[in-house]
C-alpha cells in the first residue's frame, strides 16, 4: 500500500467527517502538524473533538480551528496561551475536558496499549475527581481514568521513510509517538522524507505499522513567546 501523499489535503482525503475525534500532536508550538491542521481547516469539517496538550496560539496551529469554530470540544492539559480559547469556553461555545498533563499522556498511552482504564492519585480531592470512580490501594485513594482513543491522529516528525517509520527530534517528540498508536488512522507529516533503509532501525521512535499515510510538508519554526530586555 502506497503511504506517501503529495500534500496534506490529499493525505487526509476520505478521512475527515463532522463530529469526529482527532488527536493532534505537539506541545505549545513544538512538534505540531501545522500542514495537516491547515488542511483540516480548509476541509470545513465541524463539531470536532480534539485531543491535544493545548490548542495552539491565536492565529496559528489549532488556534486556526478555533477561529473558524470547527472545534466543539477540547480534551487538553494547558490552554493558557490562547485568548480565543478562553473566550469561547467562558461563553459556553467550547466544551473542555481538563486533565493533569501526566494523566492526559497516560490516557493516550493506555488507549494505544489497549488498556481501557487505570488508577492514579493525581487529582484526588480536586475538581478533576468529580464524577469519577475511586478505589483504595495501600490505604490511599485513587481515581479511575479512562483511556483515550481517536478516529484520526495527526502527528509531526523530523524524519520519516516512505514506509511510515518516524524519528522525532528532541522535545518535538512530546505527545506525537503515543498519539500515533491510539487512533484508528494516523497521518504523519515530516520535514525529511527518505527511502526505506536510510533510517537506522535502532533510532526509530514510531514503527511504520502505526502510520497509514505520510507526507513531506513545509514547516515554520515559530517561537511561542519571545522575551527580550529593553535596550539600555
Domain coordinates of the chain in residue numbers? 8-116+148-216
Instruction: Give the architecture (CATH level 2) of 8-116+148-216.
Output: 3-Layer(aba) Sandwich (3.40)
Number of H helices, E strands in the chain: 6, 11
3-state secondary structure of 127: helix
| SS3 assignment for 31-73 | CCCHHHHHHHHHHCCCCEEEECCCCCECCECCHHHHHCCCEEE
pTM over cut 0.75? yes
**Whats the size of the chain, residue-wise?**
232
What band does 25 get if pLDDT is binned at 50, 70 and 90? Answer: very high
Distance of CA 62 to the CA centre of its chain: 10
What is the per-residue pLDDT for 224?
65
Average pLDDT, the chain: 94
Amino acid at each position: 500500500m502506497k503511504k506517501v501523499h503529495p500534500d496534506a489535503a490529499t493525505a487526509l482525503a476520505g478521512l475527515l467527517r463532522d463530529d469526529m475525534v482527532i488527536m493532534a500532536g505537539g506541545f505549545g508550538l513544538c512538534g505540531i502538524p501545522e500542514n495537516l491542521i491547515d488542511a483540516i481547516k480548509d476541509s470545513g469539517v465541524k463539531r470536532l473533538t480534539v485531543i491535544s496538550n493545548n490548542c495552539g496560539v491565536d492565529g496559528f496551529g489549532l488556534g486556526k480551528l478555533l477561529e473558524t469554530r470547527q472545534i466543539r470540544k477540547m480534551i487538553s492539559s494547558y490552554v493558557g496561551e490562547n485568548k480565543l480559547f478562553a473566550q469561547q469556553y467562558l461563553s459556553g461555545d467550547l466544551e473542555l475536558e481538563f486533565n493533569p498533563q501526566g494523566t492526559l499522556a497516560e490516557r493516550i498511552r493506555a488507549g494505544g496499549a489497549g488498556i481501557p482504564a487505570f488508577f492514579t492519585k493525581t487529582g484526588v480531592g480536586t475538581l478533576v475527581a468529580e464524577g469519577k470512580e475511586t478505589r483504595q490501594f495501600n490505604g490511599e485513594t485513587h481515581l479511575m481514568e479512562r483511556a483515550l482513543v481517536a478516529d484520526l491522529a495527526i502527528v509531526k516528525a523530523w524524519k520519516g521513510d516512505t514506509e511510515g517509520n518516524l524519528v522525532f527530534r528532541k522535545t518535538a517528540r512530546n505527545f506525537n509517538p503515543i498519539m500515533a498508536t491510539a487512533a484508528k488512522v494516523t497521518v504523519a507529516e515530516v520535514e525529511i522524507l527518505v527511502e526505506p533503509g536510510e533510517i537506522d532501525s535502532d533510532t526509530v521512535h514510531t514503527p511504520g505499522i502505526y502510520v497509514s499515510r505520510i507526507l513531506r510538508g513545509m514547516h515554520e519554526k515559530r517561537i511561542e513567546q519571545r522575551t527580550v530586555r529593553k535596550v539600555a
